[in-house]
Structure 1
């Protein structure tokens, strides 16, 4: 068959279109399979463009910055006022403690080291070096933090310097209080301090920036392991009488003065009247006469005394120190106190606590009716 020239051109054109269709279909199939291809263009001036399929490898997760010990402690805290207190200084290797803002510091460590004497915690390294009493921090102070953290700095001194300081620590002993300047007219008249005198005496302690040691500090001081400045004082009240609770306790709260109230727990089980009053044991049920007319603390055996003190401690939530009812004590008393796990016993004998004082026979400075702030100054400086 003779093919005309026009028919030949039509057949050639169909073959070209068929090839182009096949090439385009192949390119689409290859791209769908994730293979790199080059797009075909009709213009000679454009270079082939590479197309790459997305990588299937995951993006690595950044390693988080480790928390500091203080941050880790805060991360576990549920108290919204929690504060992580860290400790630093020469020879200090202590982890941080959780404290709570606007509450007194609780159980701050008292490190011991051979050949030197711990001199307390301070707000700055410079204060620690200078042993600045006004900047010394202990359980008489309220916790204050910045961004929920605070650092305390350790101060140290030598055993020789501690001995030469010759600190005589007064433990003040109050009982009842009266609003009558002329005093009460009864057989306990001497026990009633006029509340105006008490306020003036507390103002002297506050304005004079006396250091107010906690009972664990008193114990360490007696051991010669803790330095206390000369202007140190312990304030106590016996019996938790209603006049103490209503008149005197608000004064120590207003003046931010740490005070110990010795409580007879068979008569009082209520919590402390304010955050500056520590309630400690005046026994549970031994503030009464025994067989010989003296207190039960010198009539009962050591096991009976220990059991009574355990009951008292359970109610108060603390041991540390007991004030002997009527000031009566003997060797059986001391043994009962030891068996109950108390470290300190306070008498009514006059005197001052020094390095080496008998821990179960702490003397006092008794405050009687009529004693003025000048009288107090003569006794404590």
Structure 2
């Protein structure tokens, strides 16, 4: 009897525990459902503690996207290759122009500006603005006679073009002035070389005329392209040269062209002088290495030696000067053998002492000159070059 009652109590206790477990399970399920329903009505954003505390709903901050870097321009990439504060990336623009930018140096003359070609057109130079390029504004035209000027380490040059007909109609004859020695004596020097010595006062007045009249000063590569008929040069152009690199040139005349920013070429006999250029406006080019002396027949070695000997001499001269481009024939002596030696050495131009002007089609290895003698005034020069 006692055992039976105890068994009934145990069964009853189990039923109570079972009912409690069932109630707890149902409660948990109801709570979970309510939470889920609340989350669905509020959206995925969580409510932070501040919002819960204040009772003011807020949205979660939207992540800021990482900006895509702006690609560098060709000029900017070029500038990134140098730490030179005076470096200037010069870009080229214009109809038919597809040229990479070049590094130039601010305050130094432009080096090796390109001379583009186009079928049926003639290149007419580089200009700082589109308007100048269209008008071919002579005073604005930029070449290797000018100092590099930049804004923000960059500059854009615009191409000017003209027609072959307009180029021919210009009928430009380019004078190459040939000076030798200089004197401070207004009355000149005595001796058989008297005519070679220009009075320095006359030289300064002549350079002032060229500067103030706005003459265009072509580079030698421009002169070569002009001869080929693929570059327009205005009539108002002149090339200034000095033969021998005499001490009077270095001491008296070179400072004048430097002060006036006039591009000049000094033809150097490199067996006699190997000093660097006296200033940034003087190009040093070859007057041969050791051929400025008489050969077997009393004339210069350039018409006595064979083409290979001439070429070897010019190669030696070019190594010292760091440039080929143009040679001035000693004493003005040259012949076909001379020309062949010049070609073998890789020179493109040869300057004589024959009078005349360089025109389209002129023999590149027989360039004529305007000789400047003692006693020539600025008015005499104007008569020769305008």
> Per the shorter chain, which TM-score range?
0.7 to 0.9
Larger radius of gyration: 2
1:300 paired residue among 294, 301, 305 = 305
Match of 1:278 in 2: 283
2:169 paired residue among 142, 164, 168 = 164
CA distances 1:196-232 after superposition (whole Å, capped 9, x unpaired): 0000000000010000000000000000000001100
2:275 aligned with 1:245:
no
2:353 aligned with 1:340:
no
Alignment of 1:88-237 (within 5 A): 88-237=93-242
Please state how far the C-alpha of 1:123 moved relative to its aligned partner: 1.3
Aligned residue pairs: how many? 338
Q: TM-score, normalised by structure 1?
A: 0.85
Please state how far the C-alpha of 1:65 moved relative to its aligned partner: 1.5
CA distance in structure 2 between the aligned counterparts of 1:297 and 1:61, rounded to whole angstroms: 71
SS in 1 for 2:145: coil
Higher helix share: 2
Please state how far the C-alpha of 1:38 moved relative to its aligned partner: 11
CA distance in structure 1 between the aligned counterparts of 2:135 and 2:211, rounded to whole angstroms: 21
2:381 aligned with 1:376:
yes
Match of 1:326 in 2: 331
In the alignment, structure 2 segments of 5+ residues that lack a partner are: 1-44
CA distance in structure 1 between the aligned counterparts of 2:99 and 2:47, rounded to whole angstroms: 68
Alignment of 1:45-124 (within 5 A): 62-124=67-129
Q: TM-score, normalised by structure 2?
A: 0.84
CA distance in structure 2 between the aligned counterparts of 1:37 and 1:191, rounded to whole angstroms: 98
CA distance in structure 2 between the aligned counterparts of 1:283 and 1:82, rounded to whole angstroms: 34
CA distance in structure 2 between the aligned counterparts of 1:314 and 1:79, rounded to whole angstroms: 27
1:316 paired residue among 317, 321, 324 = 321
SS in 2 for 1:345: strand
- After superposition, the CA RMSD in angstroms is 2.3
CA distances 1:166-192 after superposition (whole Å, capped 9, x unpaired): 000000000000000000011100000
Please state how far the C-alpha of 1:63 moved relative to its aligned partner: 3.1
CA distances 1:126-165 after superposition (whole Å, capped 9, x unpaired): 1111111100000000001000000001000000000000
CA distance in structure 2 between the aligned counterparts of 1:38 and 1:187, rounded to whole angstroms: 107
SS in 1 for 2:159: strand
Match of 2:358 in 1: 353
> Residues 37, 149 of structure 1: CA spacing in aligned structure 2 closer, same or farther, 3 A cutoff?
closer
Match of 1:8 in 2: none
CA distances 1:319-369 after superposition (whole Å, capped 9, x unpaired): 100000000001110001001100000000000000000000000000000
CA distance in structure 2 between the aligned counterparts of 1:37 and 1:185, rounded to whole angstroms: 106
> Residues 38, 336 of structure 1: CA spacing in aligned structure 2 closer, same or farther, 3 A cutoff?
closer
In the alignment, structure 1 segments of 5+ residues that lack a partner are: 1-35, 40-44, 53-57
CA distance in structure 1 between the aligned counterparts of 2:233 and 2:46, rounded to whole angstroms: 86
Match of 1:290 in 2: 295
Please state how far the C-alpha of 1:60 moved relative to its aligned partner: 7.3
